[in-house]
C-alpha cells in the first residue's frame, strides 16, 4: 500500500493533502509548524495505514529540500521528493490554464505529482550531518563575500560622485588601510591634511610592503588638485562613506571568522582528503564543492548524473533537422560558480588540465566555454575518485588524452 501527500509549506503552517494510489483524496488539513504539526501529520497518516506499518510507503512532495521539517519527514521513514517550484507550476498547467492558485490547490498538485510522476523526480538526498554543516558554513562564507563586493561597489560609486581622488589613492577599497584612512578622512579636505606618519602607520598595520613609496603615492593623489562639491553635499557623501567603510570592515572580520569555520568543518569530513587531492581545490573551494554536491553515495548514479547536476554538461535541443547543443540555463548558481573557479585554479596545478584547456581554445572556443568543458572533465574525475575512494592521480586522470605534455604523462 502506498499513500501520497502534498505539503505546501509556509513560514508558520503546512497545507497537507493525502490521497491513495487511485488519486482519491483521503484528507485535507492545515497543520502548524514545528513539533505539534509533525505530531498531527503522523496521526493523520496513521488513520489510513493498516496495523502492519511495514507494508505502507508514504510518499510526500514538498517544494523545499532543507530545514527541520524536511529532516523530520526523512527521519520518520517517509519518501520525500523535493519538487522544484517551476516543475510544480508546469504540472499545475497540465490540469488547468485559468491561472488559479491556492495553498490547498498547491498541496493537491504536489500530492498528485508524486503519485503519477515520482519516477521522474529525485528523492531528498541522504547527506550526512557533516556534509550539511560544511554546506551551511561554506554558503554563508560565500554570501558574505558577495555582500562585501556589493558594499565595495556602493563605496566606489559614492567616492566617484564627490571624491574621485580616493579611487586613485586606494586600489583596493576593501583593504584594511583604505578603510581605516577613509574612516578618518572621508572627504577631500580632511584627506589632504593626513600626515605621512598617519598614512604609513595605516599601511604598516595592514602589513603592506614598500610602505615609503605607497605612502608617497597616496599622499600625492589625496593632495592633488580636484573639482569640489558644495560643503553641505560633501558632508552628506562623507557620512555615507564612513558608514560603508565600517560595514565593509565588519564584513572583512566575519569573512575571516567564517573561513576558519569552513576549514574546521571541512577538515572533519571523511571525503576532505579526496577533495583536497584534486588539482586547484583548496580548503574553501573544496568545501564549497563538497557542500553543494553533498556526500550521499547513492545520489549520483553515474559521473554523467553528477555532471548534469553540476550543470557543466551541455543539453541538446533537437527538432526535425535542427539540432542545438548549449550550456544549461537552469542550474545551481553556487555550485557552478565553484566549479568554474575550480577549473580556473586547476590550470596552474595540473599539466593535464592546462593541456585540455589549450586544446579547447585551439578549437576556437571562448575562455568560459573552454573552462566549462574543463570543469565537466574535472567533475567526472572527482566522481571516479569518490566512487573508488582514491586520491587524484595526474597520470590516471589524463593518460587517455592525446597530445598532453610529457611532464603530465610522467607525473
Q: How far is CA 390 from the centre of its chain?
A: 26
123-127, 200-204, 309-313: which has the highest mean pLDDT?
A: 200-204
d(CA 399, CA 411): 10
Prediction pTM value: 0.83
Angstrom distances, CA of residue 187 to CA of 162, 181, 229, 234: 8, 10, 11, 7
Q: Which range, of 86-90, 208-212, 231-235, averages the lowest pLDDT?
A: 86-90
| Structure confidence at residue 406 (pLDDT) | 42
Residue 146: which of 313, 334, 277, 9 has the closest Cα? 334
Question: 344, 340, 311: which is closest to 327 by C-alpha?
Answer: 311
- For the ranges 90-94, 200-204, 230-234, which has the lowest average pLDDT? 90-94
Indicate the length of the chain as a whole number.
Answer: 411
Q: What is the pLDDT of residues 268-323, one digit of tens each?
A: 999 999 999 999 999 999 999 999 999 999 889 899 999 998 999 887 777 777 77
Q: Residue 121: which pLDDT band, with cuts at 50, 70 and 90?
A: confident
Name the nearest CA neighbour of 106 among 62, 142, 150. Answer: 62
Q: How far is CA 289 from CA 5, 78, 276, 319, in A?
A: 33, 28, 11, 35
Torsion of Cα atoms, 49 then 50 then 54 then 59, to 10°? -20
Average pLDDT value for residue range 19-38: 93
> How do residues 207-228 score in pLDDT, each as one tens digit?
999 999 999 999 999 999 888 8
Q: Are 151 and 245 in contact (CB under 8 A)?
A: no
Report the distance separating Cα 109 and Cα 61, nearest Å.
9
Across the range 356-378, mean pLDDT stands at: 95
Kindly give, in sequence order, each residue whose CB lies less than 8 Å from that of residue 134, ignoring residues fewer than 6 positions away.
262, 265, 266, 269, 287, 290, 291
pLDDT-based confidence at residue 55 (cuts at 50, 70, 90) = confident
| Average pLDDT of every residue of the chain | 90
Identify the pLDDT of residue 319.
Answer: 72
Instruction: Residue 5: name the closest of 53, 40, 41 by CA.
Output: 41
Confidence of residue 161 (pLDDT cuts 50, 70, 90): very high
Percent of the chain topping pLDDT 90: 73
Is residue 404 over pLDDT 90? no
User: What residues have CB less than 8 Å from 316, skipping those under 6 apart?
Assistant: 323, 324, 325
Assess whether pLDDT exceeds 70 at residue 185: yes
For residues 127-154, give the mean pLDDT. 95
* pLDDT bucket at 54, cuts 50 / 70 / 90: low
Amino acid at each position: 500500500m502506498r499513500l501520497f501527500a502534498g505539503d505546501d509549506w509556509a513560514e508558520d503552517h503546512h497545507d497537507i493533502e493525502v490521497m491513495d494510489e487511485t488519486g482519491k483524496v483521503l484528507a485535507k488539513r492545515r497543520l502548524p509548524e514545528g513539533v505539534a504539526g509533525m505530531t498531527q501529520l503522523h496521526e493523520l497518516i496513521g488513520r489510513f495505514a493498516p496495523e502492519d506499518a511495514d507494508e505502507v510507503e508514504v510518499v510526500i512532495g514538498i517544494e523545499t529540500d532543507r530545514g527541520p521539517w524536511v529532516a523530520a519527514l526523512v527521519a520518520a521513514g517517509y519518501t520525500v521528493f523535493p519538487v522544484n517550484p517551476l516543475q510544480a507550476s508546469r504540472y499545475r498547467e497540465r490540469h488547468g490554464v485559468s491561472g488559479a492558485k491556492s495553498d490547498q490547490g498547491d498541496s493537491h498538485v504536489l500530492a498528485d505529482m508524486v503519485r503519477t510522476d515520482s519516477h521522474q523526480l529525485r528523492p531528498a538526498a541522504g547527506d550526512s550531518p557533516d556534509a550539511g554543516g560544511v554546506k551551511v558554513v561554506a554558503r554563508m562564507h560565500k554570501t558574505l563575500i558577495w555582500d562585501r563586493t556589493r558594499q565595495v561597489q556602493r563605496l566606489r560609486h559614492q567616492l566617484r560622485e564627490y571624491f574621485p581622488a580616493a579611487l586613485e589613492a586606494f586600489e583596493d577599497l576593501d583593504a584594511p588601510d583604505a578603510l581605516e584612512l577613509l574612516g578618518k578622512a572621508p572627504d577631500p579636505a580632511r584627506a589632504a591634511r593626513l600626515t605621512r606618519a598617519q598614512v604609513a602607520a595605516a599601511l604598516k598595520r595592514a602589513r603592506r610592503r614598500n610602505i615609503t613609496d605607497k605612502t608617497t603615492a597616496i599622499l600625492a593623489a589625496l593632495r592633488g588638485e580636484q573639482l569640489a562639491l558644495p560643503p553641505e553635499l560633501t558632508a552628506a557623501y562623507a557620512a555615507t562613506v564612513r558608514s560603508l567603510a565600517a560595514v565593509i570592515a565588519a564584513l572583512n572580520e566575519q569573512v575571516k571568522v567564517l573561513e576558519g569555520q569552513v576549514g574546521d568543518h571541512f577538515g572533519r569530513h571523511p571525503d576532505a582528503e579526496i577533495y583536497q587531492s584534486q588539482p586547484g581545490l583548496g580548503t574553501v573551494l573544496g568545501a564549497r564543492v563538497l557542500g553543494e554536491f553533498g556526500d550521499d553515495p547513492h545520489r549520483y548514479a553515474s559521473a554523467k548524473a553528477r555532471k548534469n547536476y553540476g550543470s557543466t554538461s551541455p543539453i541538446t535541443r533537437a527538432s526535425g533537422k535542427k539540432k542545438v547543443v548549449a550550456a544549461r540555463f537552469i542550474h545551481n548558481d553556487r555550485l557552478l560558480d565553484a566549479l568554474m573557479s575550480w577549473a580556473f585554479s586547476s590550470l596552474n596545478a595540473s599539466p593535464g588540465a592546462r593541456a585540455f584547456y589549450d586544446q579547447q581554445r585551439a578549437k576556437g572556443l571562448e575562455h568560459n566555454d573552454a573552462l566549462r568543458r574543463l570543469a565537466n572533465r574535472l567533475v567526472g574525475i572527482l566522481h571516479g575518485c569518490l566512487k573508488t575512494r582514491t586520491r587524484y592521480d595526474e597520470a590516471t586522470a589524463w593518460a587517455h588524452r592525446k597530445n598532453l605534455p610529457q611532464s603530465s604523462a610522467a607525473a
